[in-house]
Each structure stands twice: as structure tokens, then as C-alpha cells.
Structure 1
Amino acid sequence: MAANPKLPPRVTLLIRNEIRSFMNNPDPNHTGRKVGDSKAAVYAFYDYDGEPIYVGQTSDTVRARVGRHLTGQRSDVVAKFILDPFEVAEIEVWTIPEIAEAEGSTATKRKLLNEYESTVYQKLRDESRFKAVLNEEVPKEITPVPLPASLRGRIIPDSIWDDRAHADVRIARRANIVGRLAQLISERQVKGGIRRTLHLQTQRLEWLSNKRLTELGIESADSETDTLFNFEET
């Protein structure tokens, strides 16, 4: 049967279905509510190696906010090549019901979310093999606060995982993002955070390229650089 030309590609539909399934999971911190319907939360994205690549907060629904990043709607971090949606393999969400239900303006709720976002950012930064996350704007560092239970799940189905996770595909994507981000920097007046993101992306590209050479048993031009990062799964 021929594909419906009015629909997105099959791969896109499969990933959107996984995102929808994730959002329909029960909120671990609010009985009777779906995690995607929470209106106060911190979320994080991870790549195919389990590496944290972005941390954000939302006082909109989690479903809507994550959708703006991953399903083709407006997202500044995607438009500026800080985040490549292709790299997102997993999502983790920390919902904070007491903020969602608190009285006050959206601005007030965002201010309350800041300490949770900073805590998640510091936690994932410290767990990263690069000791950094791709965020352009680093949340102001504060004394970490206790985090609520989180929900983490993969959004890439098994049927396409091997194709999406293949190192050669990801090296090509990552190199493309590095080039586009570098071009953006060369053509516009940008803040230091964008340059920091570019620097981290080049490290991520080098790490993945070195890992691929190791997998294939190929010695790099400078074998000493292969020991810069630990290639073992974490």
C-alpha cells in the first residue's frame, strides 16, 4: 500500500507516537494526571549515549513545551542550532505540582521553577562526561534543592533505533550542526553562551569520532587524543 503523501514520513510518525505515549504516562507526583499535562516542570533531553544535552523548564504543559522542541513547532534553541532534535533519544521530566497549583502569575511560577531547573542542570552537568550541557543560558547556580520523583523514557522505537543511533549517521548530523552553528556565529553578533555551545559541540563531535575509530580498530592520527574521554558506557 502506498504511503499517504499528506502525512509526514513514517519515521516521524513513529517518533511522535512514542512522544505521545510518554506524555500519557501517569504523573509520578500527582495522582490522576498525565505527566504531559503538568503545568510546572523541569525537563531534560538525552542523546543516544545517555548524555544530557539540554535542560529546560515550563509553566505551560510539558506536552506543549517539549512538542515545540521536537515536533517542528517554534523553538529558539532549535532555530539557533543549540539543540538538534535528531539527537534526542530520551526525555526526563520532574513535575512540581505545588508550583502548578500555587496562586500567582506565570512570571512568579517561572521564578519558583528556577531553583529546580538549576538543581537539575547542576546534577546532569556533573554526570556528563564533558561536565557541560548544551544550554546557551546556564541557569544561575544555587544551593541544590530536593527534587521530586522523575519520569524518564525513550522516544525512539526499537524498529528504527539502530539506524538512528548509528555512529556514522550521528557524526554526520553533529558535524552539520557544528558547521551551521559556526556560520551563525560568523554572521551575527552573539552572546558568549552560543560560543560555549559551539565549543562543547566540537568536543562531542571529536569524542564520537574517536569512539567510532576505536570501534573499527583504526588508529587515529594522534592516538593520544583517544584517551581524553572514557568510551565505556555509563
Structure 2
Amino acid sequence: MAATLFPDNPDFIKRPPFETDELRRCLTNYLDTPFEFDPSGARPLVGNYRWGVYAFFDYDDEPIYVGQTNEQLRTRIRRHLTNQRTDAVAMSVLDPFEVHDIEVWPLPQFQDVDPKKDRTAAMAARLHLDALERRITAQAITNSQFKAILNEKDPPPGELTVEVPPSTRGCIVSDRVREIRGHPDFRIARRALIMSRLAQVISERQVKGGLRRVMLTQAKRLEWLAARRFEATGGARTVPQEGDQDGEE
């Protein structure tokens, strides 16, 4: 009754906040992009492939996370970025709002392989998927200026090597959201917040080395971003001396 009488009352808005809504919209647009390199000649939607590897990149084009799935790229990626049901997000290893681009490497040759119905075919597909994840992870680490990404765990070990298949990459940040979240001071504050949450998780649990490695990598990323911002805004020459009048710039 109240919602009918007061349709503009923000208490009755059912949609999520603007930035969350934009993330969902842009993510859906990306996952619904036709994949141009399917050997069948068809153009299936990127998100509809069952098997594949994916990588997330931040606002500086830095690779920050690599993962794999055999349940469907759409399902796995959305779980990371929209419903916070993965350990990476729940423990503040990965911040969904720091993801700017996504790149995926679908494996069309295994599209009809169902792990629940054909264990032999699924094992072959799994070995191939693990090998591809190792390649993409190594590539991401090499391309990172920190020589590290935010994965808590390393890819499964193995001797198999595979060729990197065609991929597709796209942006999941709208221009309006980029104006808000792209500001370096906002990014510094957000990254520090995520680090504090991760530090809290570590302090409250008996964790393995993976989380501590993530913490170290995040500290390096935060220090680099803060140093870059400091120099860009004038560096040491802008630091006041004792006796100078206080106040903001």
C-alpha cells in the first residue's frame, strides 16, 4: 500500500544500487557476445561454453585473477562477480569492483562432455583444462609488473602442455561507472579497504600460505598505486612544513 502511495520513496526500490546494477548489465552483455572462433562455424555465446579458462584485469590492464570451469563460463564468472559465493570474493581475495576487463578461452571441443555421464572423456577434458590454466596463469604472471596475481592457489600440477586457443576479451565497466571508480583516490581507498578485510580474515583463521601471498601482492599493488598518485600530484614538493597554514588544497 505504501509503495503505491509513495512510488518515489527510495525504501521501496527493488533494483540494486547503480554501480551494482551496471556491473550486472555490462557483465551480461559481455557473456552474451558471440564467439567468433568456434570451429563449427556457428557463433555460440561466450558465456554458454561449458569448459574454459578466464582471466580478470583491473583498471590498469593488470591481470589479477585466473580461473577455470567445467560447469559453464557464464555460471562461474557470474558467481565470482555478482553473488559473492566463491571463496575468492568471500575472503576478500578478489574485489569484483576492481575488475575492468574479462578474457576467456573457451574449449569448444569439449562442449558435449558431461563429467557426470562420461568419466573417461571428462578426465581427458579435465587434463586439458588444467594444462590450459597453467599456461594462462604463467602468461598472466609474466605480463604483470608485480610478477604475481591474486589467486590463493596455484593451478593443478601436470606434465601435459597445450596450445593456447583463441580467446575473446571485453570490458564490463560502463563509462559512468568508470568516472566514479576509475579515480585513483577512490581506487586507493577501495584497495586499502579490501586489504583490511583480508587482513581480518587472516587474523581470525589458521590460514595457509596462499592467503598471505595474496596479502603481500595486494600490499605491493597498493603501494605502487599510492606512489604513482603521490608523484602525479606533485610529490615531495607539495608536502607542507611545520608552521605552514593547515587546510586542504
Look up the match of 1:157: 174
- Select the residue among 81, 103, 117 that pairs with 1:92: 103
Query: In structure 2, how many angstroms separate the alpha carbons of the residues matched to 1:121 and 1:217?
Result: 37
- Select the residue among 16, 23, 26 that pairs with 1:8: 16
Query: In structure 2, how many angstroms separate the alpha carbons of the residues matched to 1:151 and 1:193?
Result: 29
Look up the match of 1:50: 61
**Cα pair 1:41 1:93 within 8 Å, conserved:** yes
User: In structure 1, what residue type is equivalent to 2:32?
Assistant: N
**Cα pair 1:68 1:75 within 8 Å, conserved:** yes
Deviation at 1:34, TM superposition (A): 0.5
Query: In structure 2, how many angstroms separate the alpha carbons of the residues matched to 1:179 and 1:32?
Result: 43
Question: Number of paired residues?
Answer: 220
- Select the residue among 160, 168, 174 that pairs with 2:191: 174
Look up the match of 1:228: none
Please show how residues 174-193 of structure 1 align to structure 2 within 5 Å: 174-193=191-210
| Residue deviations 1:93-143 (CA, integer Å, cap 9, x gap) | 000111223463496233331000010000111000001111011113757
Describe the SS at the equivalent of 2:136: helix
Please show how residues 84-163 of structure 1 align to structure 2 within 5 Å: 84-102=95-113, 104-105=118-119, 108=123, 109-139=125-155, 140=157, 144-163=161-180
Residues 83 and 141 of structure 1: CA distance in aligned 2, closer, same or farther (over 3 Å): farther
**Cα pair 2:59 2:98 within 8 Å, conserved:** yes
Report percent identity of matched pairs: 44
Residues 205 and 142 of structure 1: CA distance in aligned 2, closer, same or farther (over 3 Å): farther
Describe the SS at the equivalent of 1:50: coil
Query: In structure 2, how many angstroms separate the alpha carbons of the residues matched to 1:143 and 1:126?
Result: 20
TM-score (norm 1): 0.88
- Select the residue among 91, 103, 119 that pairs with 1:80: 91
Describe the SS at the equivalent of 2:43: coil
Residues 158 and 38 of structure 1: CA distance in aligned 2, closer, same or farther (over 3 Å): same
The Cα RMSD (Å) is 2.0
User: Aligned pair 1:62/2:70, yes or no?
Assistant: no
Which has the higher Rg, Structure 1 or Structure 2? 2
User: In structure 2, what residue type is equivalent to 1:126?
Assistant: T
Gap regions ≥5 residues in structure 2: 1-6, 238-249
User: Aligned pair 1:213/2:221, yes or no?
Assistant: no
| Residue deviations 1:45-78 (CA, integer Å, cap 9, x gap) | 0000000000000101111111001112411110
Deviation at 1:11, TM superposition (A): 2.0
Query: In structure 2, how many angstroms separate the alpha carbons of the residues matched to 1:131 and 1:99?
Result: 31
User: In structure 1, what residue type is equivalent to 2:21?
Assistant: L
Residues 80 and 101 of structure 1: CA distance in aligned 2, closer, same or farther (over 3 Å): same
User: In structure 2, what residue type is equivalent to 1:23?
Assistant: L
